[in-house]
Structure 1
Amino acid sequence: MILLDLIDKQLVNLLQQNSKANIKEIALKIGLTQTPTYERIKRLEKSGVIQKYVAVLNKEKVGFMVEVFCQVTLLVHSKELITKFENAVNKIDEVIECFHVAGNYDYLLKVIVKDMKSYQLFLKNKLSVLDSVSNVQSTFVMSSTKETNILKLT
C-alpha cells in the first residue's frame, strides 16, 4: 500500500471526477502551483496509484442494452483450469469484469451486450464452450441505481 498525504488524496479525488481537468484548474483547487501539482500527478502515475485515464461511455447511447451477471462454476479447481478459464475470459469482449469469488460459484462475470440475441450467442458460442465451465447462472440487470469507478479517498 502506498501512503498518500492529504493533498495527494484531494488530487486523486479531483482527477477521478474529471480526468480532463487541466493542471491550472487542479492546482487552484488543491492550493498548489502548477509545477508541484504536475509532479504529484506524474508520481502518482509512476507509482501505479493512477493506473490509466478512460472515457466512460453511456452504454445505452452506444447500443448496449443488456447487462448480465454470470455466476460461473468450474468443473474442478485445478491451477491449470483456473488459468485456462481466466485467459479465455480475458479475450472475450462482452465480459467487462471478471471476479474470482468464494461462495456458491467460482467466478462472477459482468457481461454487457447489445440485446438478448447477442447474449444468447455469447453464452452459446463463447462462454459455454469453454471446457473448464461446468455451470452458468445468469442474472439480468433490470436497472442500475449506482455505477461508479470513484474510490473516495479521505
Structure 2
Amino acid sequence: MEESRKSFDAVDLRILSILLKDSRTPLHDISRAINLSTTSCWNRIKRMTDCGVLESYTVKLDLAQLGYNDTVIVQVTLDSHSEQTLYEFGRALESIPEVLEALLISGDYDYFLRLAVKDTRDYERLLRERLYTIPGIRHSKSSFVLRTLKKVDTPLT
C-alpha cells in the first residue's frame, strides 16, 4: 500500500477533488475537466479504488432538514482501559444511530463523540436512555456546537 501512495500524481488528486465535490460526476465530465481520455481516467479511478483510496461513493445530507438541528460534542472517560472494556464501549456506540463519530483520544478524556440530536430534550433522552446505560462510563462532558466554521473529510480541495 505504501508503494501505491507514492504513485499518486497531480492528475489523480484532481480526479479525487472532482469526486469529493460530487461523487456522481460522470466519467466523461471528469475526463474533460482534467484533459484525459475516458479510458485513462477510468483506469486511474479503478486503480485508486483497488488500492483502497476510494472507499465508497456517498451522499451528504443536511441533518437539520431531517430534524437533527443540533450537534453535541461529548468527551467521555471510562473506569477501565482494558481491551474488553474498550471493545464493549465501541460496540455499544455502534448501536446508537445518533453517534456520528467516536474517536479514542489522548489527554484528559478517553473518547470524543460527535452526536446529532433534534434538540436539548432529545439530547437528554439520549443521555438517559442510551449513553448512560453503557457500563463503565466514569465521567462525561458535553458541549453543544453553536456554529460550524469548517467541516471537511480530507485535506484535498
Identify whether the pair has TM-score above 0.5, normalized to the shorter chain: yes
Among residues 71, 92, 100, which one is paired with 1:96 in the alignment?
Answer: 100
**Which amino acid in 1 is paired with 2:78?**
L
SS at match of 1:128: helix
Among residues 50, 55, 67, which one is paired with 1:46 in the alignment?
Answer: 50
CA drift at 1:149: 2.2
CA deviations over 1:63-112 (Å, ceiling 9, x no partner)? 11111000000001111101110111122100000110000100000000
Taking structure 2 as the reference length, the TM-score comes to 0.92
CA drift at 1:151: 2.8
CA deviations over 1:29-74 (Å, ceiling 9, x no partner)? 1121111111211211121101111111112111111110000000
Structure 1 ranges of 4+ moved more than 6 A: none
Whether 2:115 is the aligned partner of 1:111: answer yes
Aligned residues: 153
Gaps in structure 1 of 5+ consecutive residues: none
Higher relative contact order (CA 8 A, sep 6+): 1
1:65–1:114 contact (8 Å) kept in structure 2: yes
Counterpart CA distance in 2 for 1:105 and 1:145 is: 24
**Which amino acid in 2 is paired with 1:111?**
L
Taking structure 1 as the reference length, the TM-score comes to 0.94
In the alignment, what sits opposite 2:88? 84
Counterpart CA distance in 2 for 1:102 and 1:114 is: 29
CA drift at 1:26: 0.4
Give the CA RMSD over aligned residues: 1.2
